[in-house]
Amino acid sequence: MIITTSDQIPGKTIVRTIGWVKGNTIRARHLGRDIMAGLRGVVGGEITEYTKMMAESREQSVQRMIEDAEKQGANAVVGLRFTTSMVMQNASEILAYGTAVVVE
């Protein structure tokens, strides 16, 4: 599966556009991570616990988007984008989306 943030894939020709595909996950904060984040907030620096959680969430969202694209017969996704939103206190959704296409 080829995935790109651009609308074209160099060296490939889009022969069919399938349509919008997506994958998402919703993650809640964890008390242990909140405690560590609070401590880091006092002394400064990267909050690695949240960085790791967000990276895992993005990867899971992309994997679910790929599964959606494959189910529809695509071999590539162009125009990949991410969005995030708060769905309830202490929980956020990460959505990966793009356009599923067939390329040659």
**Mean pLDDT in order along the chain per 10 residues (104 residues):** 97 98 88 60 72 91 98 98 88 95 98
Q: What is the pLDDT of residue 17?
A: 98
Q: How far apart are CA 25 and CA 84, in angstroms?
A: 10
What is the distance, to the nearest Å, from the Cα of residue 77 to the centroid of all Cα atoms in its chain? 13
Q: What is the pLDDT of residue 19?
A: 98
Q: How far is CA 41 from CA 36, 75, 78, 89, in A?
A: 9, 43, 38, 20
Q: What is the pLDDT of residue 86?
A: 87
Q: Which domain covers residue 71, as residue numbers?
A: 2-103
- Provide the token pair at 36: 């560590």
Q: What is the pLDDT of residue 50?
A: 79
Give the total number of structural domains in the chain.
1
CATH number of the domain bearing residue 74: 3.30.110.70
pTM recorded for the entire structure: 0.84
